[in-house]
Structure 1
């Protein structure tokens, strides 16, 4: 996997439900480093925990993006129940309590999340000349063939 480029068109398995969870932060006051830096530095430990316990936690994969003020982490989960169970786990719960204690309602830093529960057969992923990425890392990576031009067609062939 890694950065190896798979030439041609690829798709992903579309045979199970998937939960897509976006989580991130926005630095509203750049000079309030003491407020936003603890939020920013909490994530690496949780990411490590997720990858070290993937099967047990129901975590499938993730992608990260950093903008000038806003970050977003796109994560893929086996189920809504797995995601909710993780949110109540020690590492996340501790981070959430620390955030509320230290930042509370200050406007120096913002946080957000969005959760989408997507049933099998209701998503499509196409990758052209890309490394294994996004949903393909989470659900399997397969070439698009003459019979399977889209994930939707692939599902109907099965």
Structure 2
């Protein structure tokens, strides 16, 4: 079990930006178990490969499994993510091609992804009585200290810097 850190913590990435990548699948016709399983079994292979190759650029991830499966991952850059996706030697490109050839358009299994490039100055995170999680687990997990007590402070907006909404 993951160690629980009592108190309040935040994430402090040492990058200028973090690429947040959400990817998942949905069993639209769950009774077609063989087709659903053919897609679902590929993710553990990809995650194993990424764990063995930290130079690929994935900083960390969390996953949830259900009818709609979700993998939340953090990457060094969009270029790292795109390089992995297109790498013929990594276990992603061929499963994607197989899905597109065999299942795309059938309606049996849906796949989706979303990618966000987040400047570190525009992210804020807080974790209370939690194991190291999310962005903090993927980067740096630090106690909330002086000058970081509020979301506004963690976003760096208390010292005169205005958010885009405040500037309008």
Normalised TM-score (structure 2) = 0.86
Gapped regions of structure 1 (runs ≥ 5): none
Tell me how many residue pairs correspond in the alignment.
154
Q: Distance in 1 between matches of 2:3 and 2:140?
A: 15
Larger radius of gyration: 2
Q: Which residue of 2 aligns with 1:80?
A: 78
In the TM superposition, residue 152 of structure 1 has moved relative to its aligned partner by 5.0
Q: Which residue of 2 aligns with 1:41?
A: 41
Give SS of 1:121's match.
Answer: helix
Q: Distance in 1 between matches of 2:130 and 2:108?
A: 37
In the TM superposition, residue 104 of structure 1 has moved relative to its aligned partner by 2.3
Q: Distance in 2 between matches of 1:124 and 1:51?
A: 26
In the TM superposition, residue 18 of structure 1 has moved relative to its aligned partner by 0.2
4+ runs deviating over 3 angstroms: 154-157
1:115-138 residue CA offsets vs partner (Å, 9 max, x unmatched): 000012000010000000010011
In the TM superposition, residue 52 of structure 1 has moved relative to its aligned partner by 1.0
Q: Which residue of 2 aligns with 1:135?
A: 135
Q: Matches of residues 8-27 of structure 1 in structure 2 within 5 Å?
A: 8-16=7-15, 17-27=17-27
Q: Which residue of 2 aligns with 1:70?
A: 68
Gapped regions of structure 2 (runs ≥ 5): 160-168
Normalised TM-score (structure 1) = 0.91
Pairing 1:60–2:59 present: yes
Structure showing greater relative contact order (alpha-carbon pairs closer than 8 Å, 6 or more residues apart): 1
Q: 1:152 to 1:12 in 2, by over 3 A?
A: farther
